[in-house]
Structure 1
Amino acid sequence: MNRSTYFNYIEEKIELLSLRINKRGKINLLDLNIYSETFFADMISILFKWKLKNINAFQQNMEGIDLIDESNGLIAQVSSTCTKQKIEDSLKKEIFKKYPDFRYKFVAIAGNANKLRSLAFSNPHKVVFSPQNDIFDIKSILNTVLNMNIDEQRDFYVFIKKELGNEFDAVKFDSNLTTIIHILSKEDLTRVNEYPEINIYEIDRKIEFNDLTSVRLTIDEYKIYYGKLDEKYKEFDRQGVNKSLSVFLIIKQQYVKLSKNASSSHDLFFSIIDSVIKIIMESKNYTAIPYEELEMCASILTVDAFVRCKIFKNPEGYNHVAS
């Protein structure tokens, strides 16, 4: 799904930036903090439809206060220090006398702000400030991204990619998974009929056994390519030993890794597809194809791995090959 691709990319980039800011801060390397002020101003402005600007563009050296949105009446601070004292130090600033009706926002770019939202704060200037609603951290920001509509999420993905995406990847590797996707994408799959080699009853039994009835339509849609894919794997293996085996193993590896945190079999199944897509898109030998085709081919490979006993548990006596 495009939505999961957008979110996974956004999550990875923002979490990585937050981690780097935190780690570098511990050894007193603060350059990322400085550069991140403008980035986070733009980022949360997009998320919440604000117009935050770096306050130092108007008033130099405003210690403790970073951002201002005069049209929406907001003053904000971006900080890698996520503590009660940090917020209270900001609320004491004299700038609030100049902007008495402005609401204060605190954005923690490292650390978890859950506990802060339940605290009471010293607020000598009676600044408009609700800890529950006006304190943000990476988790709450990502939750907002997760609940965007698809068009908003795509636009936000483009912004993140421009700001945090790499111009080039220093290390990339060829992937057999990508090679088989390219082979499959060149096939006319509209002419494929269901092959007699697979035992439909056994596949249905495995679906029930793994509580995947919600995925049955997807499995039924793509299991018919078992025979076609089998032909392609045989062609692939003529290029060198263990090529198809390496594809099966990388898909199984994703299954094992993702199963640790999956909330349901349904989510796990589609997470494997997303992970396969990510590996392909990041491999050195990937040549771009329309995303819909890429998703279709990745789904075919994942369903095939399910049928062939490579992922998910097999019921006793399972045999996917028809006698």
Structure 2
Amino acid sequence: MNRTLYYNYIDEKLHTLAFRINSNGKLNMLHLHMHSESFYLHLLNLLYGYELENLNKSLQNVEAIDLIDHENNIIIQVSATCTKAKVESALEKPIIKKFTTYRFMFLSIAKDASNLKKSKFKNPHNISFNPASDIWDLKSILNDILQENVLVQKNVYAFIKDELGSEVDVVKLDSNLAIIINFLAKENWNDGCQSEPIHKFEIDRKISHNQLDKAKDLIEEYSLYHGKVDSKYSEFDSMGSNKSSSVLARIKREYIGAKDTGSPDEVFFSVIEVIKNKVIESANYSQIPIDELELCVDILVVDAFIRCKIMENPEGYQYAAS
């Protein structure tokens, strides 16, 4: 197995964990956060040679500090909240005065921290803290993993496989398409959240322009979920650059390949079938009943239809943004 397969597996699993943290409600947040603290404790020790331990083992309900390394003089706050106020709140806590000879680090486990790294922070206890190097996020950790040799990547891969998931398939490859389907599969599509798109007339006009007869009912029904899919895409994009764009580009690519192969209805349904198969063939697809998979793929392709990614647009077509 080569380093690309190791890295792709690591990338997908870490992004999946972050997405779950972002997507879960308050009831599950504490459990996920506690699991993430333990997970990242071992990952950072493995990757950087630290000797981190959970400070709550010796001091209960400690504010501002989650992980501590007495050998390397490091304290780390692990947080799903990635704001300047969150960092400054930690830096001003009285307990920081006990560790002024240590280096303070902030680990964002669910959000991109690129902008936070450029900020200036109030540091009333003058603990060692350089935002550019001492604020970590998924992107910075993955970049460090990418730079490591294959032996280190193999060890990280083995740890993550034991902690988070199954063996990587050396034939199948991961896909962002499968990730978004995995998350859509967890949605309740009968919860009453459907709503008419803002520009329903434009959608109807595009259906007529493409002479879609058989697909018309499907598009009209699942266009009601456009806002919900848009919300999921926004959460997905918070996990890294080009996430939703890559999914939509894949759907468009399949449409371009199929557009001259039959009638408009045949092309539309062939795109659905190809996307369904792409998901099934992905290494990171979590298997669900076929009818549930087809529902999620139908909703995703109808959303791509609204977003101008498949079928031809009538003149002056207004993208029906949610």
Bucket of the pairwise TM-score, normalised by the shorter protein:
0.5 to 0.7
Residue 51 to residue 20, structure 1, CA distance change in 2 (3 Å): same
1:289-319 CA-partner distances (Å, limit 9, x unpaired): xxxxxxxxxxxxxxxxxxxxxxxxxxxxxxx
Residue 49 to residue 25, structure 1, CA distance change in 2 (3 Å): farther
Aligned partner of 2:65 in structure 1 is: 65
Residue 113 to residue 57, structure 1, CA distance change in 2 (3 Å): same
Report the Cα distance in structure 1 between the residues aligned to 2:284 and 2:116, rounded to whole angstroms: 38
Aligned positions, number = 184
Counterpart amino acid of 2:65?
Answer: I
Residue 28 to residue 58, structure 1, CA distance change in 2 (3 Å): same
Q: Residue 76 of structure 1 aligns to a residue in which SS?
A: strand
Residue 282 to residue 81, structure 1, CA distance change in 2 (3 Å): closer
User: Is the 8 Å Cα contact of residues 21 and 30 (structure 1) preserved in structure 2?
Assistant: no
Residue 282 to residue 101, structure 1, CA distance change in 2 (3 Å): closer
Aligned partner of 2:250 in structure 1 is: 257
Report the Cα distance in structure 1 between the residues aligned to 2:113 and 2:68, rounded to whole angstroms: 21
Could you say what the CA RMSD is over the residues aligned between the two structures, in angstroms? 3.1
1:189-243 CA-partner distances (Å, limit 9, x unpaired): xxxxxxxxxxxxxxxxxxxxxxxxxxxxxxxxxxxxxxxxxxxxxxxxxxxxxxx
Give, in angstroms, the shift of residue 65 of structure 1. Answer: 1.2
Residue 128 to residue 281, structure 1, CA distance change in 2 (3 Å): closer
Give, in angstroms, the shift of residue 26 of structure 1. Answer: 6.1
Q: What TM-score comes out, normalization by structure 2 length?
A: 0.52
Give, in angstroms, the shift of residue 281 of structure 1. Answer: 6.7
Q: Residue 104 of structure 1 aligns to a residue in which SS?
A: strand
- 1:143 and 2:143 are equivalent in the alignment: yes
Q: Which runs of 5+ in 2 are unaligned?
A: 173-246, 254-277, 287-322
1:244-294 CA-partner distances (Å, limit 9, x unpaired): xxxxxxxxxx9x83997xxxxxxxxxxxxxxx9x9487799xxxxxxxxxx
Report the Cα distance in structure 2 between the residues aligned to 1:258 and 1:143, rounded to whole angstroms: 28
1:95-150 CA-partner distances (Å, limit 9, x unpaired): 22222210001000011101111111010000100000000001111111111101
User: Is the 8 Å Cα contact of residues 45 and 51 (structure 1) preserved in structure 2?
Assistant: yes
Aligned partner of 1:127 in structure 2 is: 127
Q: What TM-score comes out, normalization by structure 1 length?
A: 0.52
Residue 2 to residue 124, structure 1, CA distance change in 2 (3 Å): same
Aligned partner of 1:215 in structure 2 is: none
Report the Cα distance in structure 2 between the residues aligned to 1:140 and 1:117, rounded to whole angstroms: 11
Aligned partner of 2:190 in structure 1 is: none
Give, in angstroms, the shift of residue 29 of structure 1. Answer: 3.5
Q: Which runs of 5+ in 1 are unaligned?
A: 170-176, 179-253, 261-275, 285-323
Q: Residue 86 of structure 1 aligns to a residue in which SS?
A: helix
